[in-house]
Chain A
Amino acid sequence: MAKQIIILLLLTGSCFFFLVGTVGLIRMPDAFCRMHATTKSDTLGAGLALLALMIYRGLDVISLKLFIILVFIWITTPTAAHIMAKSAHSQKKDPSRGGIK
């Protein structure tokens, strides 16, 4: 019973963070603000959802594969955010320097 309550709490937190990321993606005014809203909250939401699945399975090969997916998402999402921010910055014209990049 305690395991089910922990899984429900983790799933609720994951849904909350995915919802926050999507609201930020819709409502924020700029590409950098959208990146700031989505990448961090999606990383945490994916971590909580996969942790709930790992607790549901227990110690197993399936749980190990879920942990591999979790580590992969934790490494690649900040890296992708860095590269997306670099490409968006290269496209942006800076108004404080007279429109020069």
Chain B
Amino acid sequence: MIQTAFTAMSIFLAVLFFFCLYRAYIGPNAADRVVAINVISTKVTILIALIAVVTDQYAFIDVALIYAMMGFIATICVSKYIEKGKLF
């Protein structure tokens, strides 16, 4: 029963990705695209953690942690590049 609930939430998150990708595609400025990519990276982290618990392969939890770090670094780098025109 609980496994079914976790699977249903995984499918729900996978459907929500497409709407966020729509905003990342159509967004008029670069800032809108950065917001959409940040939302997608948070959702992918939760999706990896859910799939790790559903399929009993707990090495994916570490993958989720590293994906959260990479999404944060990507957001910081793109925002700094938009603001200054260079990274450092």
Q: Which residues of A contact B (CB under 8 A)?
A: 4, 7-8, 11, 14-15, 18-19, 21-22, 25-26, 31, 34-35, 38-39, 42-43, 45-46, 49-50, 53, 56-57, 62, 65-66, 68-69, 72-73, 76-77, 79-81, 83-84, 86-88, 90-91
Contacts and interface: CB of A to CB of B under 8 A. Distances in A.
Interface string B48-74: 011001000010011011001100100
B31 interface: yes
Nearest to B42: A42
B79 A83 contact: yes
Given A22-B39, A91-B30, 20 more contacts: A7-B5, A8-B2, A22-B19, A25-B19, A31-B29, A38-B38, A39-B38, A43-B42, A56-B6, A65-B62, A65-B65, A69-B45, A69-B61, A69-B65, A72-B65, A72-B68, A83-B79, A84-B75, A87-B79, A91-B83
B49 A50 contact: yes
Given A49-B46, A84-B38, A91-B82, A11 B9 contact: yes
A87 B31 contact: yes
Interface residues of B, number: 42
B2 A15 contact: no
